[in-house]
Structure 1
Amino acid sequence: MEFNIDVLILILLIIIISMLIVFILYLLVPWGFNHFISPKFNSSYIYDSRDFKKKQLLQNLSNQEENAQIDVNMNQGTYRILFGAKRELINGIIKIRHNINEYINYNPSQMQKKLLKLLTINKGDGNDKLGAFKSINAQYRLEDEERYVNTSIKEYYQQDFIIFELSIPEGLENTSSGEFSELITSFPSFINKSPNTKIFTFRNAIFCPPSRTIGATSAPILFYDDDINCFVISPLDGFLNTAISIDKNKRINCGIQGAIKEIPKNFSQKFILLFGKGINKSMERLGYILLKFHDSKRKSLYSNVVTSYLGFWTDNGAYYYYKTEKGMNYEDTIIAIKDYFEENNIPIGYFNFDSWWYLKHTNKTFTTLFRFLIRLMGGGLYGNTLCWEVDPKNFTTDLKTFHHEKFQMPITAHSRRWDARSPYVEKFEFKTYKNHAVPLKKEFWDWLMTHAKESGIEVYEQDWMKNQIVSMPILRIDFDAQEEWLNSMATAAKENGIDIFYCMQTPGILLYSIKHSNINITRCSGDYNVRWPLTYRFIHSTQTNILYHAIGINSHPDVFRSRTMENVKFRPFGEKFPDFKCLYQILNAGIVAPGDKKENVNWPLLRRTCRADGLLLKPDKPLTANDLMFKKHKKYYICDTQTTINNFTWRYIFISNIWPRRVKETFFTLKELGYMKNDYIIYDYHSGVINRVKIDDFIEVGRLKRYGYKYYILCPITINGMALIGCPDKFITCSGRLIININASRDFLNFIVENIKNKVVNLLIYSEKRPTSIQVDKTPINSWSYDEVINIIELNLKFEKFSKKEVLIIN
């Protein structure tokens, strides 16, 4: 008996010590992320005092030319690109792999490869959707086979880009090296001999994390110098099969991913080389060209209910993620949440149903033992999807009946990788490997999207995208498989009026979204957790957003908790920065996604992001790291976004103390941020302080505590000296969904405000003199005041019905 008690005590002691170790490790998570994880999700400049020594500062850079010159050796087909003094891309060659052999058009014996023999080369010209061009066209033949390779280098007149095209009419066989990075084709392929040695790109990983090094990636790669002169190399098409890599000799190679087994007949690849100035501007220019080439358009900021209205989220990090109200199933929990919001006039426009709602292949013992890890690891503990239908433990009826009879609100619904043991595999055509499956054919997607539409689902979220590619060999080795999978999904969704939301996507999948108008949302950072430091997800998303904005897709940084654990002194598990994260969500211009326990949803905070009916009041683009963050600097982390209405631009500047030890200068100038106008009104949102500033004035932020922030709004001064600051009750004071139009002359300022019934819009307008009168809808009003000390007009507009009101302020 004593032995048994001793054993029991020992077991209990082991359990207690283990739990204590886990608890201590959990407390150390922010420290671990800051030191080991977060640096892998940042491509901006890292402060180094040696960069500010006199010798370093005196270095001069040659000018970069945007109209590059192409120099081709007409005997060999080799080429180089010149774009300024001491700025060249040299030793340009062509490489391919076929039947396990590698072929090259220059010096094959020295490189231990076979010859790609030049047959013909000539100059030409032409015109396509991107404009008029002159070209150098060549044909090559494999040394030991009657198989031909055609290349074309197109230089567009008065343009800042060059296009490289390679085609192989008969295709290629036995091409796979087994490695993504060992490309099958390489054109262009050159060595960078320029000062543009710094790199801004995105790793070939989930959520497209920013990177300052090149592995091998399907993303654009931007090379820049200390003055932010840039060149960008990117796929122009074939996003799911192409990649860019750099080898041990620092040769940049652009071509087809190395794991693909066979290149089909009539294959062609296209890459674009673009020259520009500025990180954000160059990427935006690239996005414009990609959209134009594919006859596509930027996705609307208000594409659907999810991007338009405040929603309620239950995904990883949310309170209700695999957790219900006490004593309730999910069906009752969701209805209780909905009823609470209606009773308290919180205008939630839709609900997110995450992976908890459908049936998965689950090892019950495993998930029970390790349930505490769910909030760290996500729903991956629950395995693949068996049936994309309600789990009977969570619902008493099917989703269609639940929606029509009880819920009656729009849904965005999650989906993940499919299981080979799913009954759908028997009914529809799936490709399977071990326990995993993927449906390539449209027949299955037609059924699923019809089912979704009938069940009130308006946005379908496809998660685990990179995981599916990793676990399903066919998606890596078959040239057409990924595109068939994604095209079937998007086409079936569109036919049913459903939009697509990508999650855990690669850069290639992200770029592929250009091809479908209903793929309009994608995640821009990892899963939310209150323990993750801001150095991780915030930095990641504000840099990844540069690419997302460029191609015109709505980005989503994930759910957040909108209320801190108030009245709790020790709060290791609670959200510490709800104001920061709420402001960031609306500045991100995508989705605002609170995920609190229903009673903790912070409506007084959330109402700053939206109208009283829940319509989000957004800027025109997602928040991105300012170009200054990629130069050598000593400042806080500075991001910005903007709203433009009738050629008047308001800039929203978000300054955060993410890395306190790096900050040596607590001021900035508008010129440093790249703003060209000389005169602005700057509004400190939280303090309410208003000043007039010029482009070279020092704007002193002051010393911020760790993770502290400042939020400034730059307002354009019109020709009459007035500046509309907008509505101080909203984070985006001059959203295009609040201020519909604005005009100005020397004598007046005129703008139109839109709002809903029985609501008041408070407005601030800067004016150096008291106006003679203010009219609303051509009728003089008295509901305004003027403060001569700070030169501010305060104006209150009451809306008796949903309408637009025209305001005229006369000098």
Structure 2
Amino acid sequence: MAQKTNLRRVSVLANLVSVEVSMTSSQQEAESAQDKAWLNAMTCQQAFSPTDTNPINLVVDQASGGFKLNVPNSTLSFNSADIFFQVNGKLYSTADGSLLYTTFASGLGTDPLGKYQYKSIHWQAGGVRVETYYRYYMDAPAVVFGQHFPDGANGTSIGNEEQTCTGFPTIALEGQAGLLAYLSFGGNMFGGASIGAGEWYYQTTGIRSGITGGPLAIFDRTLHTVVLSPFSQFMAASVWHNGTGGGTFGGEVNYGIMGNVENIPPNFDYQTILFYDKGINQALHEWGGTLMRQYGKTRARTESDFASNYIGYWTDNGAYYYYHTESGKNYEDTMVDVMAYTKEAGIPYRYLQLDSWWYYKGVAGGVKTWDARPDVFPSGLRALYEKIGLPIVAHNRYWARDTTYAKQNGGNYSFIVEKQSTTSMPIDMMFWDDLFTQSAEWGLIIYEQDWLDVEFKGLKATLSSTSLGKQWLMQFGQAASSHDLNIQYCMANPRHALQSVQIPAVTQARVSSDYHPGNEQWRIGIGSIMAHALGVRPFKDTFWSTSNQTGSPYGHATEPYPRLQAAVSTLSAGPVGPSDMVKGADVKLIMRSCNAEGLLLKPSRPATAIDLQIAQKAFQLDLGPKGEVWTTYSDISGFRFGIILAADLQADWNINSVTAGFGEMMPGMAFTWPLTPSMTPFGLASENLLLKQCGKDDFAVWYTSPFLDLQNETVMIIGETDKWVPMSPQRVTNILTYNDTLELSLTGAPGEAVTMAFTVGAKGLVEIKCVLDEAGTATLNVNKETCY
């Protein structure tokens, strides 16, 4: 070929081969018409084979390493953007041909998710080997995208922690408005503090990205949904919405390693998952279950978590006794008084939470020493534990730079301490073992790690390392398991939330901002979706059970909606923690949440916002309710008892069993209080329940129950009418029907009186009172209207 060189075709192909294709300048115009045909001939389209389980259509462009993806019978369709890697201080990308293609491979494999087809492309980034790969699963509706660094890579930082220094997969924001929408988890509080929703198209804005970015659900108007998130290296990975021209809209969404990571170790492997299902809640639930299966976490430990199963007393921000004691008394005396009052009032609190007011603070309010100050507890924590006779949930915040535990400050343990930071971080497993050994002496059962976002982002070391963030969380998670402790995450970013799938001890997480009497942090219907998906109980935070509590640290603040606060807390299926002043509790309201022993009577799963509420928020069309509509249910012996909460609803809206997320149910009725005038046929998909416009004081909770045919009479179980969850698996352990007989097995406190309501044929409403035996059990026979 002639001397003058044109590299145009090599750039277009993103270096399909690593040699230069050249032609003379006089040939350039003559050959330009042949470019398209030449490109098509040289480009190899590699398609995966869909299965009955995985319908996703995925085609990989061997030349560019990119892809086209769509889901049949939906409008879900995506194209990749450019792949890039920062290496040795330079950006190598398919956009300009600097990322050089070397080889391609394909085949079959197996991992914990099952059998998969794979396609792998190897690249050279300035002499450094990099691999991108696709795993297309045959027995799950999922695709995993991988980045692999056989030799590692140096000089990877781009100097911006909110971006990524690598990009694969990268997804272009394209198309017109009105076809697709997104739900984006972000911020702290397990990704529930800054939830974004909007339309997915060429001008999309509002996707949560960077250090606080999180999982992304993309859906069409028929609710076909894909979920995208990191699938490994959770603390090192980020999502970056790179807007058009570096702006805030359009552009592409990139998945990769945090932008300030300086070096990537050899054989480092990062994965992103794309998971498909029908329905937003369903897709997120199955996506979370897939992560849990991948890392071996089950729901058993979460379901047995003491503080999620029993009611407790809280003293955190918003509580009456948050940095505030009874007049003239210290905290020790105040907590003893609280427990004495609640016992006398008949509130069966089973644990006490101690917030940040009890330990020593250092630089910038961080933890200097996690031990009780003598002015707070003059007799010490052990003495308090013995006085109140209850286990402890204890708060901790970020470690201060001057913490007494660090070797740099004369302590015994290895910490990262940086001069430019006010925080520090333990990197010593012995530290956590010793800390939790000591805390066992004063009854610790839940270690509440708050300010997770601040501790992670407060150090250069964590933002520039692929492993340090994970090491930190894994160490105190493993130590907690070794000491039979569970963990509550608070102010957790989505990266912490995702990492929890590798930490069985993480059983609960705050999904709301801090409570303050009268604020709006009760809106946890969407945030609870991710917590439940990842096997963690969502926590709404504390609340007042009465409106006016004089002398509080919040001036004249009042709680206008204590009933709503109590209902949301109970329906969350997570911790329930009132925080009233002495002689200030509404005992009857608090007892709507639990039995006589303090066991929470909750549904089978947390209440979450229905799909159409999310679609309405994203599309801003008349697709769903204009307000909060959440649903949950109790599954007992094969029967489903639905619960529908409607609050702050701006207009009437119809809901049926399918849009409620229950699926098509047995024929039955929906009802609220008062019972008789409210009864509405409900169960079949064609049967609608009208949710009337309501506010926060007149919110509605509806219940559903199936018809049971006995002796030519139709019976419907109503349950305990004085509880938020009338039919709770914690109360009714079995429903038995035989020979036209209906029996319920009940459980609770020995001697507890339990009244269950039913509708029985022409008799109408029937109430049967049972007194539980010494073992706390009883069998209720509906036909005989008796218990034994």
Is TM more than 0.5 here? yes
Pairwise CA distance, 1:90: 1.5
Pairwise CA distance, 1:284: 0.4
Structure 1 residues 480, 65: closer, same or farther in 2, change over 3 A? Answer: closer
Alpha-carbon distance between aligned partners in 2 of 1:399 and 1:757, rounded to the nearest angstrom:
31
Asked whether 1:557 is paired with 2:540, we answer yes
CA contact (8 A) 1:79 1:93 kept: no
Asked whether 1:637 is paired with 2:637, we answer no
Cα deviation, 1:447-499, whole Å, max 9, x if unaligned, reads 21111111211111111111112322212112211111111111112212211
SS at match of 1:227: coil
Pairwise CA distance, 1:639: 0.7
Which residue of structure 2 aligns with residue 324 of structure 1?
325
Give runs of aligned pairs for residues 757-796 of structure 1, distance below 5 A: 757-768=750-761, 788=763, 791-796=764-769
SS at match of 1:282: helix
Alpha-carbon distance between aligned partners in 2 of 1:88 and 1:765, rounded to the nearest angstrom:
50
Question: In the alignment, residue 148 of structure 1 is paired with which amino acid?
Answer: R
CA contact (8 A) 1:608 1:731 kept: yes
SS at match of 2:498: helix
Give runs of aligned pairs for residues 461-480 of structure 1, distance below 5 A: 461-480=448-467
Pairwise CA distance, 1:193: 5.0
Which residue of structure 2 aligns with residue 224 of structure 1?
219
2:641 aligned to which of 647, 650, 669: 650
Pairwise CA distance, 1:79: 2.1
CA contact (8 A) 1:150 1:167 kept: yes
Cα deviation, 1:380-417, whole Å, max 9, x if unaligned, reads xx81111111112112233234434x333201011111
Question: In the alignment, residue 414 of structure 2 is paired with which amino acid?
Answer: E
Give runs of aligned pairs for residues 405-484 of structure 1, distance below 5 A: 406-425=387-406, 426-427=410-411, 428-433=413-418, 434-484=421-471
SS at match of 1:454: helix
Give runs of aligned pairs for residues 322-721 of structure 1, distance below 5 A: 322-361=323-362, 383-404=365-386, 406-425=387-406, 426-427=410-411, 428-433=413-418, 434-532=421-519, 534=520, 537-539=521-523, 541-565=524-548, 573-631=557-615, 632-633=623-624, 635-657=626-648, 660=650, 663=651, 665-674=652-661, 675-677=663-665, 679-685=667-673, 689=677, 691-694=679-682, 695-705=685-695, 707-718=697-708, 720=710, 721=714
Pairwise CA distance, 1:765: 2.0
SS at match of 2:604: coil
- The structure that is helix-richer by fraction is 1
Alpha-carbon distance between aligned partners in 1 of 2:653 and 2:164, rounded to the nearest angstrom:
46
SS at match of 2:264: coil
Residue range with higher mean Cα deviation, 80-89 or 385-394: 80-89
Which residue of structure 1 aligns with residue 34 of structure 2?
none
Asked whether 1:734 is paired with 2:742, we answer no
Question: In the alignment, residue 203 of structure 1 is paired with which amino acid?
Answer: G
SS at match of 1:805: strand
Question: In the alignment, residue 211 of structure 1 is paired with which amino acid?
Answer: G
Pairwise CA distance, 1:77: 2.9
Structure 1 residues 563, 287: closer, same or farther in 2, change over 3 A? Answer: same
Structure 1 residues 207, 672: closer, same or farther in 2, change over 3 A? Answer: closer
SS at match of 1:319: coil
Alpha-carbon distance between aligned partners in 2 of 1:635 and 1:747, rounded to the nearest angstrom:
44
How many correspondences in the alignment? 690
Structure 1 residues 245, 332: closer, same or farther in 2, change over 3 A? Answer: same
Structure 1 residues 482, 590: closer, same or farther in 2, change over 3 A? Answer: same
SS at match of 1:175: coil
Structure 1 residues 448, 706: closer, same or farther in 2, change over 3 A? Answer: closer
SS at match of 1:220: strand
Alpha-carbon distance between aligned partners in 2 of 1:705 and 1:118, rounded to the nearest angstrom:
60
2:86 aligned to which of 81, 88, 97: 97
Which residue of structure 1 aligns with residue 266 of structure 2?
265
Which residue of structure 2 aligns with residue 797 of structure 1?
770
SS at match of 1:762: strand
Pairwise CA distance, 1:623: 1.5
Asked whether 1:167 is paired with 2:162, we answer no
Question: In the alignment, residue 647 of structure 1 is paired with which amino acid?
Answer: G
CA contact (8 A) 1:419 1:437 kept: yes
CA contact (8 A) 2:301 2:504 kept: no
Pairwise CA distance, 1:170: 1.1
Question: In the alignment, residue 353 of structure 1 is paired with which amino acid?
Answer: L
CA contact (8 A) 2:189 2:510 kept: no
CA contact (8 A) 2:78 2:171 kept: yes
Give runs of aligned pairs for residues 57-96 of structure 1, distance below 5 A: 67-84=55-72, 87-91=76-80, 93-96=82-85
Pairwise CA distance, 1:809: 3.9
Alpha-carbon distance between aligned partners in 1 of 2:689 and 2:599, rounded to the nearest angstrom:
33
Which residue of structure 2 aligns with residue 783 of structure 1?
none
Cα deviation, 1:336-368, whole Å, max 9, x if unaligned, reads 112222333321101011111111138xxxxxx
CA contact (8 A) 1:299 1:553 kept: no
Pairwise CA distance, 1:295: 1.1
CA contact (8 A) 1:522 1:555 kept: yes
SS at match of 2:500: helix
Pairwise CA distance, 1:747: 2.4
Structure 1 residues 636, 525: closer, same or farther in 2, change over 3 A? Answer: closer
Pairwise CA distance, 1:246: 2.2
Which residue of structure 1 aligns with residue 186 of structure 2?
203
CA contact (8 A) 1:758 1:801 kept: yes
Pairwise CA distance, 1:636: 4.1
Which residue of structure 2 aligns with residue 17 of structure 1?
none
Alpha-carbon distance between aligned partners in 1 of 2:699 and 2:196, rounded to the nearest angstrom:
25
Structure 1 residues 164, 596: closer, same or farther in 2, change over 3 A? Answer: same
Cα deviation, 1:289-323, whole Å, max 9, x if unaligned, reads 11111111125554333112111111111011011
Structure 1 residues 657, 482: closer, same or farther in 2, change over 3 A? Answer: same
- RMSD in angstroms over aligned alpha carbons? 2.5
Cα deviation, 1:154-174, whole Å, max 9, x if unaligned, reads 111253111112210111111
Which residue of structure 2 aligns with residue 310 of structure 1?
311
Alpha-carbon distance between aligned partners in 2 of 1:611 and 1:686, rounded to the nearest angstrom:
23
Question: In the alignment, residue 430 of structure 1 is paired with which amino acid?
Answer: F
Asked whether 1:140 is paired with 2:133, we answer no
Pairwise CA distance, 1:712: 0.5
Identity of aligned residues (%): 25
SS at match of 1:451: helix
Pairwise CA distance, 1:538: 2.4
Alpha-carbon distance between aligned partners in 2 of 1:717 and 1:300, rounded to the nearest angstrom:
34
CA contact (8 A) 2:670 2:689 kept: no
SS at match of 1:597: coil
Structure 1 residues 95, 548: closer, same or farther in 2, change over 3 A? Answer: same
Cα deviation, 1:59-114, whole Å, max 9, x if unaligned, reads xxxxx99611221223443322132376432245432111111122x3425xxxx2
Alpha-carbon distance between aligned partners in 2 of 1:652 and 1:81, rounded to the nearest angstrom:
37
Pairwise CA distance, 1:443: 1.8
Alpha-carbon distance between aligned partners in 1 of 2:505 and 2:774, rounded to the nearest angstrom:
33
Give runs of aligned pairs for residues 215-294 of structure 1, distance below 5 A: 215-217=208-210, 218-249=213-244, 250-294=251-295
Structure 1 residues 421, 91: closer, same or farther in 2, change over 3 A? Answer: closer
Alpha-carbon distance between aligned partners in 1 of 2:76 and 2:368, rounded to the nearest angstrom:
56
CA contact (8 A) 2:752 2:776 kept: no
SS at match of 1:216: coil
